[in-house]
Amino acid sequence: MTDAEKVDRLLAILERTGLGWIATQLREHIRTGRTMIRVEPVLKGEAVFIGDTHDIDEVDQLPPRASLEAVRDALSVVTVDLAAMEAEVNGFFSARVAGFQGIAFEAEPMDEAKPFRVAPPDPDREGHRENVRVALSKLVEPGGTTSGA
C-alpha cells in the first residue's frame, strides 16, 4: 500500500467514524502543500496504525463504533503513550549520562529508515498528555462524537 493509499484509507475511516474534523484538516494540509511536521506521521497513516498496514484494512471492516474506538486507541498510542515514553527515556538517561545531550537514531547505510532525535524534556507536555487522555476518552462516550467536519 502506498503512502497516498494509506492516507486515503485513513481519511475515509476518520470521516466515517465521526473524526471528519481531523480528516478535513489533513486534506487541507495536503491541498495547500504546507509541511505540518506535527501531522506528517498522521498523513502517512503509519503513525496512527503502527505496524502492519493490514491494520487499516481490519479497522475499515469494523462496525462504526468499534472502528471509532480503534482510531481512538491508535491516536492514544501515537500521542499519549509515545510522549510519555519519550519523557521517561529522557529522564532516565539524563540522570545517568554525564553531560547528556539527548538520543539520536542513525540508520546504517543499507537502512532506509530516517534518523531522528528525541526532543528535550518539555514540562508543559505532561499537562497536554492528560488533556489528550481526557479528550480521547470522551470521544467514545455517548454524545461525545461529532458527525464530521
Partner 1 sequence: MALEDDLLAEIQNNLGAAIPVAGGTATAAWDLFEVYLLALVVRAAEVEGATVSFENVDGSTPTTLVFRTSPGQIWSTQNPYSHVVLQFPGKDALEGHIGLRVAGKSKVLHEFDVCVLRRSEAVIARAQRVPPRSSKVVIGVECKLYTTPLKLGLAREFIGLKTDVSASGMFFVTNTFSASVDQLLTARVPHWDQNVTPAAAKDVERFRNSCQTVFKKYKAR
Give, as ranges, the residues between 15 and 44 that touch partner 1 (CB under 8 A): 21-22, 25, 37-44
Contact status: 106 vs partner 1 (CB under 8 A): yes
- Nearest distance in Å: CB 84, partner 1: 4
Exactly one of 31, 63, 96, 147 binds partner 1 (CB under 8 A); which one? 96
DSSP 13-58: HHHHTT-HHHHHHHHHHHHHT---GGGHHHHHSTTTS-S-THHHHH
Q: Give the cell for residue 21.
A: 474534523
DSSP 22: H
CB 125 within 8 A of CB 85: no
Residue whose C-alpha cell is 455517548: 142
Contact status: 57 vs partner 1 (CB under 8 A): no
- Nearest distance in Å: CB 41, partner 1: 5
Identity of the residue, 1 or 93, whose beta carbon is nearer to partner 1 in the bound complex = 93
Q: Give the cell for residue 95.
A: 540522570
Q: Give the cell for residue 67.
A: 472502528
Exactly one of 7, 23, 59, 68 binds partner 1 (CB under 8 A); which one? 59
Exactly one of 13, 48, 67, 68 binds partner 1 (CB under 8 A); which one? 48
Exactly one of 32, 33, 63, 115 binds partner 1 (CB under 8 A); which one? 115
